[in-house]
Chain A
Amino acid sequence: MKNKAFLLLVLPGAAWFIIFAYLPMFGTIIAFKDFRIHPGGFLESVLKSEWVGFKNFEFLFSTSDAYIITRNTILYNLGLIFLGLVLAVTLAIIMNELLNKRLAKIYQTAMFMPYFLSWVIISYFVFSFLSVEKGVFNQIIMYFGGDPVSWYSETGYWPYFLILLGLWKGAGYGSVVYLAAIAGIDRSYYEAAMIDGATKWKQIRYITLPLLRPLMIILTILAIGGIFRSDFGLFYQVPRDSGALYPVTNVIDTFVYRGLTIMGDTGMSTATGLYQSVVGLILVLLANYAVRKIEKDYAVF
């Protein structure tokens, strides 16, 4: 009787998961098929399409694309994870030490702003700096007598731009968690250290950082679990989908999107998505295993 009430509560949500999460999981068998749309609908299309085994995967890995998108995805994520960690912890520690708490609060609110904006809006921000004829960067370059740069077709600058923008957008978000953790550290540690004559720097080095370490490790390992996924908007919207920049902006997510919408290659796009999901799953499980080893309470599963 009671259980029936719970089942009624859980049912609509469960239906959503079945339709929007589990049905697509079943659909990944398209990766092993030569997908053709049949008039009988989705199930019939999936079932009646011809099996081609690993052909779609062979095709994917025979191109240079597979290497480039994997390399870009992993390198950008590694950069964002580690620099993001350093930035978030540094910001949190400094903001915690500022004498004027009111100012600190204002800084935090300002830093949080980019997190609340979409990549579309941010791409307009970026354009106001990088526009070839009107942008701020080229105005400065020309003021000093240089030649204007065609930013949206020069690959060399974009790895730096993308990493900086990713860090910039996530800084406010990232520092909040560490700020909360620092606030939770027992004050008496610092008082004892102070009496022993420890400088501020020593206190940070021997008290704050070691006490933040478990959280740092856990959040980093969890982020590494998602290293095969990337923020689509950063790599697609911000460079304005510029073809000249693909060598440095194409990641697995944008590759799958373009495969689906421009080339219409359903089989290979699904295969790429499956490659992403399977490697992602393995990484998440490894990451969780590592968390369990380090700090059992923090393991997700």
Chain B
Amino acid sequence: MSNLSEPIKRASAPAKKSRKKSRDLNAISPLSNVIFNIAIGLFALSCIFPFLFIIIISFTDEKTLAINGFKLFPEVWTLDAYRFLMESGQQMAQSFGVTLTVTVVGTALTLYLVTTYAYAISRKNFAQRRFFSFLAFFTMLFSGGLVPSYIVVTQVLHLRDSIWALILPSIMNAFYIIVMRTFFTTTVPDAVIESAKIDGATEFGIYTRIVLPISLPGIATIGLFSTLGFWNDWFNALLYIDNANLIPLQTLLIRIQNNMDFVVQNSSRVVSYDIASTLPTETVRMAMVVLATLPVALAYPFFQKYFIQGLTIGSVKE
């Protein structure tokens, strides 16, 4: 095609324009397209490469690793790390259970609290809607900060070393309420609610039987934000949890990293390698990272469209 248009291009300027038009309307030139594809492709690769690299390390033989370091193409491959986790990964299984419980219970509570609150303040015939909107949105302006929050959770609610310390502090925030309220006001027509009322439905009946089913995409958005938040959370555990039975996955990974650093720093000169070898080895740690990440890595491409929907609602429109 480029050969055919070459003489025409040289002939006159207007002909050049018509050649451009013959390609898909107003598209960029094939050369720029290739350059952009390479640039963006490399950046996109850099976003998934580290995860692939961690997977490779987790399949590397420990001795090979100790000699050669982290390599993209290790000399000896092995399943040892995963075998080790299958046989002696009780703490890993326990932490998996904690993370799963916290994520499921936390997300369920989040959805209940956020939808009820956002629905009430989205209705114009709710007399105190302004007061309750302010109550929620003011928390975006000002917060007590970390220390007073910490004292409330530990001294007032006595939640230290309780699974609720991982759930309750994070089940609500004003951003979720803004997204959900925007969703209710834009997708639930007043006329639907009016007609349901004429048919004799109660406010609660309208909410559960009409509003919630219409708002499923919005609920999915909040549900995903919340699921991800709980799955990735480690900060609450860092503050409130000492009991090994209640450590979530992410925090377990932090602890292993710190313990390993401690042992390596203190053993390199004095103590023999034996002590270090009783702790999870490098490859086992990387295998744990892979297992902790896998659910998210596999699921997120399917969630992505809801996230994009939520992002657009939450940030572009009030």
Interface residues of A (CB under 8 A from B): 2-3, 5-10, 12-14, 16-17, 19-28, 30, 37, 41-42, 45, 91, 94-95, 97-100, 103, 106-107, 109-114, 116-118, 120-125, 127-129, 131, 133-136, 138-139, 168, 171-173, 176-177, 180-181, 190-191, 194, 197, 200, 203, 215, 219, 232-233, 237, 240, 253, 256-257, 259-261, 266, 269-270, 272-274, 276-277, 280-281, 284-285, 297-298, 300-301
Contacts and interface: CB of A to CB of B under 8 A. Distances in A.
Contacts of B307: 112, 176
A9 B116 contact: yes
A269 B116 CA distance: 35
B132 A109 contact: no
Interface string B156-190: 11000000000011011000010000000000000
B44 A16 contact: no
A100 B297 CA distance: 24
A10 B121 contact: yes
Given A10-B132, A26-B148, A91-B43, 7 more contacts: A9-B116, A19-B156, A123-B257, A124-B286, A128-B50, A136-B70, A300-B137
Main SS class of interface, B: helix
11 contacts: A9-B207, A10-B128, A13-B113, A17-B172, A22-B139, A23-B144, A94-B36, A117-B297, A124-B285, A177-B312, A200-B28
Nearest to A112: B304
A98 B297 contact: no
Given A99-B28, A111-B47, A135-B69, A273 B120 contact: no
A99 B31 CA distance: 11
Nearest to B118: A13
A21 B143 contact: yes
Q: What 4 A-B pairs have minimum CB-CB distances, sorted nearest first?
A: A273-B145, A24-B144, A27-B148, A13-B117
Contact of B117 (A14, A127, A131): A14
B146 A120 contact: no
A136 B71 CA distance: 7
Contact of A107 (B41, B168, B254, B308): B41
A124 B156 contact: no
Given A20-B169, A25-B144, A133-B69, A41 B156 contact: yes
A110 B44 contact: yes
Contacts of A14: 117, 132, 135
A272 to B, nearest CB: 8
A5 B204 contact: yes
Contacts of A112: 47, 300, 304, 307
A16 B69 contact: no
Nearest to A121: B293
A113 B296 CA distance: 9
B318 A300 contact: yes
B253 interface: yes
B127 interface: yes
Contact of A281 (B71, B142, B250): B142
A57 to B, nearest CB: 14
A168 B42 CA distance: 12
B10 interface: no
A172 B47 contact: yes
Given A23-B156, A128-B53, A240-B261, A284 B141 contact: yes
A17 B144 contact: no
A270 B148 contact: yes
Contact of A42 (B127, B151, B250, B257): B151
Given A6-B123, A168-B47, A298-B318, A94 B39 contact: yes
B152 A42 contact: yes
Contacts of B41: 103, 107
